[in-house]
Structure 1
Amino acid sequence: MGASSVTNSTATYVEAVGPDNVIWADNPQLGIGIFNQGKSVKTEYKHRLPVRVGFNVAYRLTDRLSVESGVSYTRLSSDMKDGTKDNYSSGSQKLDYIGVPLNVKYRAFGYRRLSVYASAGLLTEKCVSGKTTHEYVISGEKKKHEAEDVAAKPWQLSVNAALGAQFDVLRNVGVYVEPGVSYYFDDRSTLSTIYKEKPLNFNLNLGVRYTIGK
């Protein structure tokens, strides 16, 4: 699920240096502070829906019990805006994660090619790359645009539980739908993500599963 937060505050007074504010010509962030001094300032974060793709293989231990693992890729995207209507900074943040899931599945019901099951496990992810962009606007005019790589590369751990239904199109290959819930632990980084804004997330997984074993 997506998430957003809005904070309102009053900008503190900033001392303008030099005639006609020429000192902040190369520092639009300072200029925004000068023009917004004493005004009501809004800070808004919008975290978009995470996008995740992956490949999983299940190993059947018994007729009802199996374990599953694989690899996943996740993109987290966020937008930010800070300031007033005419003087503000806005930007975006994009983070890429590579993860390894480990789940245990219990088949509760089966009829011909259809099976219904419960699943629980964990997902370990590593942020492998990230980029932020910033745009500075003063008096409605864009003053500067910059982009930089994200230095923090935290590990992210989450636990999950789900109920699912799978239809086997071949003997070892099935398509499944899996509504569930996940809880994301604090990665102790300074990054602002949907995982921190909403650590408890509901999700719906669709995919193809390959099963080996008995």
Structure 2
Amino acid sequence: MSQGPHPQPELRTIVWRALGALALIQLALAAIFRGLLLVAHGTGSVFRFQLVNGASFLALGILLLIVFRPTLSALGLSLAGKPMHTWALSFLGVALVLTLVITSRSFGIMPFVLNLTFGLAVPAFEELLFRGWLFGKLRPISAGPRAAWVTISTGAVLFGLWHLGYAPTLLQHPAHPEIASLLAFKVGYGTVLGLATGWLRERTGGTYAPFVLHAVANIFAP
């Protein structure tokens, strides 16, 4: 009995295309960051660096939305047909993140800017990109009893590798961190976080829960 075409060649094609697209996005992000730094007259301080960093994600995210005009479903944001408790939990989760970010202002301007960047801009950008767009590309072509985990693990590995693309930005950090060890940590952290958020994407059918987990993890990260 014929079992149909094997899904792996198509999966490999999507993965290679995704790697190319992600590399281009990282290049665009680095270019926008560099341009905004020039406008801000260089880094000068960690505060200015992180402010420009967050603005870069926001600017590129808006640009990608304008150029490609993805649907809410493609980004995992559609709640149409979902039960009321899904609506409630989604909005409560986002409200929790917003509350954590806003209240961090009481600890000073630096924690507030860090949370704006890593608690809002970065997780929103990355979750819509990975658990939204990329997950939607990988999930339909995964087959077999472990199809969900093929998608989740593939997305997690790509998410881990994605963090290597932050090297050009980190090289301009005014605190001059040890790049190799920091990137190694980011790749490992990103892969583990990608597994958790990918599982949430599969379980909930949307990107709200992955965003909340990602944001909270970033806010409370040491």
Q: TM-score normalised to the size of structure 2?
A: 0.20
Bigger Rg, which one? 1
Q: Which has the higher strand share?
A: 1
Q: Name the one with the larger helix percent.
A: 2
Q: Which has the higher contact order (CA 8 A, sep 6+)?
A: 2
